[in-house]
């Protein structure tokens, strides 16, 4: 019985709570909004052109499963395992948050068409998901944020995602390949994408403050809180 209780406590980040449904909904909405904003700005400034569209149910179903699993795996590895472990060792979350963001950015450096700017941007992605995990102590918000960012970006809007071409519903022609748009790496590798990452971070903090109270108080709790599993 004790062993079962310890395992359940260890995986408490994956147990449902009263916030789970709202966290998932808000997470999906935040990054979907951000990616649509990136699309609108890119279109308005002539960085992309829509040259067609097409819906293939099998393709969409495939990418839905693929991105759901990929986002879930990365959140399990970088937030649930690495970030939790570092917080448990170092007690406070800010240095672990920065370290895991650096690792997350660096792990994308070998992707096709990666640049130093895309590494910085992916590092900011690590900050986004790490803040969501620290602020909720659950996997649901960062997983939803991560999924919607990639899903709306590629299978729906037709952007490249982290250097990979994806067959989207919209067919885009990339008119700009500079630091502004991110070019063939995708919008997360450019200034437009980075700007919206900052917006996402602000919205995450607003949601955590609204749903859980002050983010500052959450990160300053006693060992019965932040330093216990999942941290």
* Number of domains the chain contains: 1
Domain assignment present for residue 40? The answer is yes
Task: Write the CA distances from 40 to 47, 49, 73, 114, integer angstroms.
Answer: 10, 11, 30, 23
Burial degree of 196 (CB within 10 A; 0-12, 13-18, 19+)? buried
Cα 179 to Cα 132: distance, rounded to the nearest angstrom = 27
pLDDT, position 198 = 98
Cα 206 to Cα 221: distance, rounded to the nearest angstrom = 19
Domain assignment present for residue 126? The answer is yes
Domain assignment present for residue 13? The answer is no
Residue 139 structural domain? 20-218
Domain assignment present for residue 8? The answer is no
Domain assignment present for residue 229? The answer is no
Cα 86 to Cα 76: distance, rounded to the nearest angstrom = 14
pLDDT, position 222 = 38
pLDDT, position 214 = 74
3-state secondary structure 93-116: CHHHHHHHHHHHHHCCCCCCCCCH
pLDDT, position 7 = 52
Binning pLDDT at 50, 70 and 90, where does residue 228 land? very low
Confirm if 118 and 185 have CB atoms less than 8 A apart: yes
Given a cut of 60, whether residue 89 has pLDDT beyond it is yes
pLDDT tens digit sequence for 117-174: 999 999 999 999 999 999 999 999 999 999 999 999 999 999 999 999 999 999 999 9
Confirm if 186 and 162 have CB atoms less than 8 A apart: yes
Provide the percentage of residues in the chain whose pLDDT is more than 90.
85
Q: What's the mean pLDDT when you consider all of the chain?
A: 90
């Amino acid at each position: 019985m004790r062993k079962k209780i310890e395992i359940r406590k260890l995986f408490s980040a994956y147990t449902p709570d009263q916030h789970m449904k709202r966290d998932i909904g808000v997470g999906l909405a935040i990054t979907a909004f951000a990616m649509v904003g990136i699309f609108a700005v890119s279109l308005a400034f002539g960085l992309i052109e829509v040259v067609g569209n097409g819906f293939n149910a099998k393709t969409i179903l495939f990418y839905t499963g693929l991105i759901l699993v990929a986002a879930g795996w990365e959140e399990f590895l970088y937030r649930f395992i690495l970030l939790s472990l570092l917080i448990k060792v170092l007690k406070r979350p800010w240095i672990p948050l920065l370290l895991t963001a650096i690792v997350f950015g660096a792990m994308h450096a070998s992707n096709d068409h990666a640049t130093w700017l895309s590494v910085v941007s992916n590092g900011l992605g690590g900050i986004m998901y790490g803040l969501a995990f620290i602020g909720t102590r659950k996997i649901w918000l960062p997983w939803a944020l991560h999924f919607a960012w990639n899903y709306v970006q590629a299978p729906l809007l037709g952007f490249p995602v982290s250097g990979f071409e994806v067959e989207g519903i919209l067919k885009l022609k990339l008119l700009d390949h500079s630091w502004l748009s991110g070019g063939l790496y995708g919008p997360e590798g450019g200034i437009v994408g980075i700007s919206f990452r900052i917006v996402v971070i602000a919205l995450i903090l607003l949601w955590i403050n609204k749903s859980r109270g002050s983010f500052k108080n959450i990160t300053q709790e006693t060992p019965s809180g932040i330093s216990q599993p999942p941290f």
